[in-house]
Structure 1
Amino acid sequence: MGFAEELRNSCVEDWEAAVDHPFVNQLLDGSLADEDLRRYLVQDYQFCDAFVALLGQAVASAPTLPSRLVFAKVLGAFASDENTYFQDSFDELGVPERDRFAPDLAPATRSFDSLMREALATRSYPEVLAVLLVAEWLYGDWAAWAGDPATWPAAPKHADWIRLHNNPEYNAWVAWLREEFNAVEPSSQADRTRVAETFAEAVRLERGFFDAALKPAVLA
């Protein structure tokens, strides 16, 4: 068992609760209300800045050129395909300009953004990878439950979000990310503990973010 699998198993309750979350299940069967999808996408889009910065830090911190190039390729895809999905969905859901780029942030959003930026500030390759791995692997896990694309919801606002996280390129990226994370497993117990705590907190916050999409909290 690699370090990635070890850490996932250590927080399996939160992981499985996120993957099998009511928000996810409603997205997968196409019953997710526009109000809930709108709330989720507006808040999720606010992570783009920190996520792009994390990918950039991974490019800077990776130990080899081949690894740097993988992150650079993903960074380019994120800036095009995923951003296009957000903008198209915002148009369909009637999201105004202010809510796209400067909405009031929910507590769950603030917490996850802070975790990303804390990992970024460390400039530690394993710690940056821990946050990236949770964000990508967990989404790949829930999207895998969509099954045959012929059974996916008809609406692009649902189906395209599934497709972005369930396709051969994305699955290969997640598999590579796990292997890369396992290859740079920290040798000292202190570093292992810190990375494990970051990983577990990211999983907990992913679960909380889905909770917030269905149960809107008072904005801070």
Structure 2
Amino acid sequence: MGFAEELRNRSAEDWDAAVTHPFVDQLLDGSLPDEQLRRYLVQDYQFCDAFTALLGQAVASAPSLPSRLVFARVLGAFASDENTYFQDSFDELGVPERERRSPVLAATTTEFDALMRDALATRSYPNVLAVLLVAEWLYGDWAGRAGEPATWPAESKHAEWIRLHNNPEYNAWVSWLRDEFDAVEPSEPQERQRVAAVFAEAVRLERAFFDAALAPAALR
């Protein structure tokens, strides 16, 4: 068992709860109300700055040119495809520019952003990978529940979010990320424990973030 699988198994309760979350169920069957999708996307968009910086740090910290090039390609795709989805969805959902840039943040959004920035500040390749891996792998898992594209919701604001996290290129990226994480597994016990703690906290916050998307009180 690799390091990634070991840490995922340690956080299985939170991981499985996130992947099978009621928010995900409603997104996958197209029944998610616009109000809740809007709340989720506005909050999720606030991670784009820190996530982009994490990808940039991965480019800087990776041990080889081939690894740097993988992160550089993903960074370019994130800046185009995913950002386009956010902007198109915001337009459709009537989100004003001010709310896109500086909304009231849920507590979980603040916590998750802080975790990303803490990992970024360490400039530790394993720490950076731990956050990236949870974010990408867990999303790949829930999106993988969608089945064949013919069964996806009709509305693009649901279907496109699924497609962005369920396609051959994305699945290959997640597999590569897992292998890369396994390859840099720390040998020193204290560092290994620190990376494991980052991974576990990221999983916990992914679950909490879906909880917050269904709870208007989370933003008060």
The total of aligned residue pairs comes to 220
- Gap regions ≥5 residues in structure 1: none
Instruction: State the Cα deviation string for residues 28-52 of structure 1 (Å, max 9, x = none).
Output: 0000000000000000000000000
CA contact (8 A) 1:140 1:166 kept: yes
The TM-score normalised by the length of structure 1 is: 0.99
Structure 1 partner of 2:206: 206
Aligned positions of 1:47-58 closer than 5 A: 47-58=47-58
Give me the whole-angstrom Cα distance separating, in 1, the residues matched to 2:17 and 2:104.
Answer: 26
CA deviations on 1:120-156 (whole Å, 9 max, x unpaired) are 0000000000000000000000000000100000000
Moved over 2 A (4+): 216-220
- Give deviations 1:143-187, integer Å, cap 9, x for gaps: 000001000000000000000000000000000000000000001
Cα distance, 1:76 vs structure 2:
0.1
User: What is the CA–CA distance in structure 2 between the aligned matches of 1:34 and 1:217, rounded to whole Å?
Assistant: 17
Distance 2:217 2:25 in 1: 21
* 3-state secondary structure, aligned to 1:217: helix
- Normalised by the length of structure 2, the TM-score is 0.99
The residue aligned with 1:10 is 10
Q: CA deviation at 1:218?
A: 4.5
User: Does residue 88 in structure 1 map to residue 93 in structure 2?
Assistant: no
What letter matches 1:77 in structure 2?
Answer: A
The offset of 1:104, in angstroms, is 1.0
Number of the residue aligned with 2:113: 113
Report deviation, 1:216.
2.2
Letter of the structure 1 residue corresponding to residue 89 of structure 2: S
- Contact 2:146–2:162 (8 Å) recurs in 1: yes
Name the counterpart of 1:64: 64
Contact 1:107 1:217 in 2 (8 A): no
Partner of 1:75: 75
Deviation at 1:15, TM superposition (A): 0.1
Percentage of pairs with the same residue: 81
Match of 1:195 in 2: 195
| Cα shift at 1:25 | 0.4
User: What pairs up with 1:30-49 in 2 under 5 angstroms?
Assistant: 30-49=30-49
Aligned-CA RMSD value: 0.7
Q: Secondary structure at the match of 2:147?
A: coil
> For 1:49 and 1:172, how far apart are their aligned partners in 2?
24
